[in-house]
Amino acid sequence: MALKELFERDWQELESGGVLFSSLEKLVAWGRSNSLWPATFGLACCAIEMMGSTDGRNDLARFGSEVFRASPRQADVMIVAGRLSKKMAPVMRRVYDQMPDPKWVISMGACASSGGMFNNYAVVQNVDSVVPVDIFVPGCPPRPEALIYAVMQLQKKVRGEAFDNYGTQLPMVDAWTR
């Protein structure tokens, strides 16, 4: 993106929000994006790769997201790692509802995003029908690096720095409006 466009955006922001509030909003978003805490929630084999993302080799801690919380009330990211059975869907929704706003969801692996190889009556075919998904991670299973990349993309969305293929800025993710 050209430098001129960057400044133009800042200028428009300053005009609409004022110096204090536009800067404060950015500071809060920056803080949030660097302390995304996932809920401890694994469903199947993908969860092993999710655990692998916090080991010494991959070190998710570099991005401030290594603190997997045992209580949904202390988490702001749900990583749906693995296939979701229809029996488990209401439980997962309850965990999501117990997480405080703002909150985000990463759908990890082919099973969570599309049912994967389990095209049958017992498995939810897309977790987006149960909870609103922000990032989909492809693969069976996705490697820990893919999950770390997804966390980095989510950080960009939270900070309002994500762009589509045409270079248009995507809106900042705001879970209150969901």
Residues near ligand SF4, by CB under 6 A:
44-46, 82-83, 109-111, 116, 140-141
Report the nearest approach of ligand SF4 to the CB of residue 123 (Å).
9
Report the nearest approach of ligand SF4 to the CB of residue 52 (Å).
12
The two three-digit tokens of residue 76, written as one number = 């702001």
Q: Which residues contact 106 (CB under 8 A, 6 or more apart)?
A: 77, 78, 79, 80, 133, 134, 135, 136, 137, 147, 150, 151, 154
Report the nearest approach of ligand SF4 to the CB of residue 53 (Å).
14
Q: Which is nearer to ligand SF4, 28 or 140 (CB)?
A: 140
Q: Which is nearer to ligand SF4, 54 or 113 (CB)?
A: 113
Report the nearest approach of ligand SF4 to the CB of residue 109 (Å).
3
Q: Which is nearer to ligand SF4, 75 or 81 (CB)?
A: 81
Q: Which is nearer to ligand SF4, 72 or 82 (CB)?
A: 82
Q: Which is nearer to ligand SF4, 36 or 84 (CB)?
A: 84
Report the nearest approach of ligand SF4 to the CB of residue 15 (Å).
47
